[in-house]
Amino acid sequence: MEKSEFQIIKKYFIAPDLNTGEKSIELGIGDDAALVSIPADHNLSISTDVLVEGIHFPKNADAGLIAKKALGTNLSDLAAMASKPLCFTLGLALPDFSEDWLHKFSKSLGEMAKHFGITLVGGDLTEGPMAIAIQVHGINPIGMALRRSAAQVGDHIYVTGKLGDAAIGLLCIGESSHIGCSFKLIDDPPPQGCRDFFVKAYYEPEPRVDFALQCRDYINSAIDISDGLQGDLAHILSASNVGALIDIEKIPFSKAAICCLTSENLYRAALYGGEDYELCVTVTPENCSKFELEALKSNTEITRIGEVISGSGIQFFPSRYNPSHSTDQSYSHFRGNDT
């Protein structure tokens, strides 16, 4: 028997794991709008991502994995601003009613929300082609939010984690990559252990919230790597009116990626693949030691890959493989209008 919108919300989305008990939230789900108090001397940071079936995840994907990807990608935006997660809204379009799908989706959503201390305060549910729209809200002490526009000449450039695994994960779930048909695995299918690793990287990004909050005092500028290192670093450079010199051999890859891709495709995965949701940050030389120590305290792997220079654009060295001469492009949400 099908349930009404309000019955579905009550059964699946009014749950303890989706309510942190945060005192700033005066009124959550159950009225026409939520009521949220912003602590004194803080800004509210807001970000929205929409995930569409067949574009951001394949049809018939596991509902729990979809939930983790949907919330994780939004939390990564808060991490890039060094914002503490506060609350979020959920817009959900479903082609039909499925108890099993809703149970898996809400359970995984609640697990992730509880882990990051973020409360679901409202949203909307409708029938239609499957799409998930999440808007996250975070808070920053005034003047403490990280931005793309504050990189300075001489800053060192760091990335968190490993790059390229999510792009490989896309291949492992049987989807084609925007990079092109030459972007492929050495062995297809890869060993089962590698496949599981890459699929997890694709569906379950690890938002670097704790790292950003721990290290923000020593970071000048930041961005999350959602569309590939090449494109996202370029956003920092453009906003800050500077250039970058990148040691391409310093780009960090997982052992699984090194085993499963040619060296050229490794770089293509990191630079253009997207959906890693790691952070790229710039740090002044005098703050590097303190920054690296705080990153260690947050249990986050970081790698220094280059330096901010005067000028514009990205220069790569050594020149054996120069991505600046490549025709590859970073991920675009409009497939037919890549620019």
Mind listing the pLDDT tens digit for each residue in 122-163?
Answer: 999 999 999 999 999 999 999 999 999 999 999 999 999 999
- The conformational region for residue 107 under phi > 0 = left, psi -120 to 50 = alpha, else beta, is alpha
The whole-number pLDDT of residue 336 equals 44
Could you give the strand order of the β-sheet that contains 302-309, starting from the edge strand earlier in sequence?
A: 221-225, 278-283, 156-160, 302-309, 243-247, 313-317
Which pLDDT belongs to residue 85?
A: 97
Per-residue confidence (pLDDT) for residue 1, from 0 to 100:
41
Summarised one tens digit per residue, pLDDT across range 6-52 is: 788 888 788 888 888 888 899 988 888 999 999 999 999 999 999 99
Contacts of 8 (CB under 8 A, 6+ apart): 97, 102, 125
278 Cβ neighbours under 8 A, 6+ residues apart: 159, 160, 161, 162, 163, 208, 224, 225
Q: How far apart are the first and last CA of the chain?
A: 48
* Percent of the chain whose pLDDT exceeds 70: 93
Q: How many residues make up the chain in this entry?
A: 339
Give the pLDDT confidence of 224-277 residue by residue, as tens digits. Answer: 999 999 999 999 999 999 999 999 999 999 999 999 999 999 999 999 999 999
CA 246 from centroid of its chain's CA atoms:
22
Do the beta carbons of residue 298 and residue 210 sit within 8 Å?
A: yes
- Give domain 148-329's CATH architecture: Alpha-Beta Complex (3.90)
Q: Rounded to an integer, what distance in angstroms lies between the CA atom of residue 138 and that of residue 227?
A: 22
**Per-residue pLDDT, 288:** 98
pLDDT in tens, 305-324: 999 999 999 999 986 666 65
CB 25 within 8 A of CB 36: yes
Residue 325: the pLDDT is 52
Distances (CA, A) of 203 to 16, 51, 92, 247, 256: 24, 12, 18, 29, 17
- What does the pLDDT read at residue 334? 46
Contact between 92 and 125 (Cβ < 8 Å): yes
Domain ranges of the chain: 5-141, 148-329
CA–CA separation, 171 vs 63, rounded Å?
Answer: 19
pLDDT for 237 equals 98
DSSP H/E element including 225: strand 221-225
Give just the sign of the alpha carbon dihedral 36, 39, 45, 49. Answer: negative
Residue 3 pLDDT greater than 80, yes or no = no
Q: From CA 220, how far away is CA 213, in angstroms rounded?
A: 13
Q: How confident is the model at residue 332 (pLDDT cuts 50, 70, 90)?
A: low
How is residue 192 written in tokens? 């089962």
Pairing type for strands 221-225 and 84-94 reads unpaired
* Alpha carbon distance 58, 65 (integer Å): 11
Integer Cα distance of 158 and 251 in angstroms: 9
The mean of the pLDDT values for the chain is 92
Across the beta sheet with 84-94, the strand order is 42-52, 131-141, 84-94, 119-127
In this structure, the dihedral spanned by the alpha carbons of residues 164, 111, 141 and 74, taken in order and rounded to 10 degrees, is 40
- CATH code at 5-141: 3.30.1330.10
Greatest pairwise CA separation for the chain in angstroms: 65
Helix (H, G, I), strand (E, B) or coil at 63: helix
Contact present, 237 and 157 (Cβ < 8 Å): no
Give the rounded percent of residues in the chain with a pLDDT score beyond 90. Answer: 78
CB neighbour list of residue 223: distance below 8 Å, 6 or more residues apart: 80, 148, 232, 233, 235, 236, 279, 280, 281
Using the 8-state DSSP alphabet, how is residue 149 labeled?
G
Of the candidates 35, 150, 16, the one whose C-alpha atom is nearest the C-alpha of residue 86 is: 35
